[in-house]
Amino acid sequence: MSKRLLLRRFEKAYAYNAKTDYIYELDEEALSFLTSLDGREVEIEEELYEYLKEEGFFGNSLPDFKEQKEFPSLRYLLVHVTYNCNLKCEHCYVERKNVFMSREVFEALARNFYEMGGLKLIVTGGEPLTHPEIFDFLREARRYPYRIVLLTNGLLIDERIARKLSKFVDEVQISLDGLEGHKMLRGVDYRVVVEKIKLLKEFVDVSVATMITKYNLEEFEKMKTLMESLDVKSWNIDFPSCSEEVVPDFDKASLISLGFGEAHEAEEGYSCGTHLASVTPKGEVTKCGFFEDAVGDVFNLEEAWSELRKKYIWRLSELKCECDFVEKCRGGCRYRALHYSGDIFGEDPVMCAIFKAR
């Protein structure tokens, strides 16, 4: 089997290609067959063999099989290695602090996340490249087969950094919040970021994240043309939960539909972020960057996740959403609902605007 193919039994059985970010739902017969591919000769139909080969299933490693027995399962871990940053963006929810994660904390989370069967480790900040030990951390994480994604503003990227990143991460996501609008929001000319994207693409997969703000509303068609010309892996567009000075009218949220790229389906019957947890630089486990109350720490990640499931994972049936689209929008963002309605079970006005406009 390929070292990067992860076989997991969560709510269902899955095969996850950590190199390509593709996830395949399996029946038990398929899971049993794939876990049996341990180097011994087996009979296999030629058509199936060619398909598995094309999808990157084969390699020289033993099958990597793990299961979680408590659901919903933890699949994605967002790791804030620092709150330090080299920018001060108007829409950022992170308070800039010179706080840096210790190696002990990172090693614990990297190991325990793998033992729980984690699929994707997302390294962020602040600006993660300001952490003096960031490449030691990424080297440690690369000991494990899960997918590693680095989120960055891109300003510290040069050819040396890009080459080093390519040894340890599968994807780099860069923030680009418009054309002229990017400079108004972040104080940096968008052309600088575009050049960083071009440089990174020589070495590693690149995706782009864009926030819809008052500064970039008229730039999205040009942005889409730019994203297509850059041939980025995905373009993720979102609506901010921040100071009203930069937040546009909710009807502009429909611009989210211009984005593209693969996305893993949310768990049926649950609201947003079902399989996600976040970690602070001190190693505290929280729901995400917005819900900051700690439920435990990375040294006891399984226990922390169990506690988080009780407090911060919501069934759609609990939400005060009456429309016919709730199964599709998954209730939107619970923090946004709390921010705008004062009720964590209330409506997310952004998702309401998107689906009611259809």
Q: Which tens digits make up the pLDDT trace of 29-82?
A: 999 999 988 767 777 888 887 888 888 888 888 889 999 988 999 999 999 999
Question: What are the structural domains, with CATH classification, of the chain?
Answer: 5-67 (no CATH), 76-312 (3.20.20.70), 317-357 (no CATH)
**The pLDDT of residue 161 is above 80:** yes
**The pLDDT of residue 306 is above 80:** yes
Q: Which tens digits make up the pLDDT trace of 72-124?
A: 999 999 999 999 987 776 555 556 678 999 999 999 999 999 999 999 999 99
**What's the pLDDT at 49?**
78
Range 238-264 average pLDDT: 83
Nearest CA-CA partner of 208 in 219, 197, 216: 197
**The pLDDT of residue 347 is above 80:** yes
> How many other CB atoms are found less than 10 A from the CB of residue 170?
22
Q: Which tens digits make up the pLDDT trace of 164-188?
A: 999 999 999 999 999 999 888 888 9
**What's the pLDDT at 356?**
74
Range 297-318 average pLDDT: 95
**The pLDDT of residue 265 is above 80:** no
Q: In what order do the strands lie in the sheet with 276-279?
A: 235-238, 205-211, 171-175, 147-152, 120-124, 76-80, 276-279, 284-286, 296-297
